[in-house]
């Protein structure tokens, strides 16, 4: 029983260490994430389109794959897009944890 409790304690304390950082990754909306033009050249995806299509949610392209955000990440992405003067080249630095379903629980987001 003691070993079990020690194991639970170690896992509980290690959980915050599972946070990851993604730097310089493309921010895209889920609605456009599967379009060839976006996956091949995400830097050309316009801010106006990301805002217009944002109801579908947001995420990042990592190694050509779309990784969606949780609700907080969607809120942070929308707020950052509304504040930026950038017309395209939407790269971000994200901090968060990957969930079992592959999405990211975002703790912070900043446009680069």
Separation between Cα atoms, residue 9 and residue 43, nearest integer Å = 43
pLDDT tens profile 14-38:
455 579 999 999 999 999 999 999 9
Separation between Cα atoms, residue 3 and residue 54, nearest integer Å = 47
Is pLDDT at 9 greater than 60 in this prediction?
Answer: no
What pTM was computed for the model? 0.82
Average pLDDT over residues 60-66: 92
Q: Where are the domains of the chain?
A: 19-111
Separation between Cα atoms, residue 77 and residue 93, nearest integer Å = 11
Q: Tokens for 24, please give them.
A: 């310089």
Q: Tell me, what's the pLDDT at 5?
A: 47
Separation between Cα atoms, residue 74 and residue 57, nearest integer Å = 6
pLDDT tens profile 101-111:
999 999 999 99
Q: Which residue has the higher pLDDT, 9 or 97?
A: 97
Task: Tell me the β-bridge partners of 20.
Answer: 96
Q: Tell me, what's the pLDDT at 91?
A: 96
């Amino acid at each position: 029983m003691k070993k079990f409790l020690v194991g639970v304690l170690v896992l509980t304390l290690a959980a915050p260490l599972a946070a990851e950082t993604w730097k310089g990754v493309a921010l895209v909306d889920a609605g456009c994430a599967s379009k060839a033009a976006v996956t091949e050249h995400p830097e050309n995806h316009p801010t106006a389109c990301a805002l217009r299509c944002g109801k579908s949610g947001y995420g990042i392209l990592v190694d050509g794959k779309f990784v969606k955000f949780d609700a907080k990440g969607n809120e942070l992405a929308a707020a950052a897009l509304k504040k930026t003067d950038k017309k395209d080249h939407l790269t971000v630095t994200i901090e968060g944890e990957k969930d079992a379903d592959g999405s990211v629980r975002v703790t912070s987001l900043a446009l680069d």
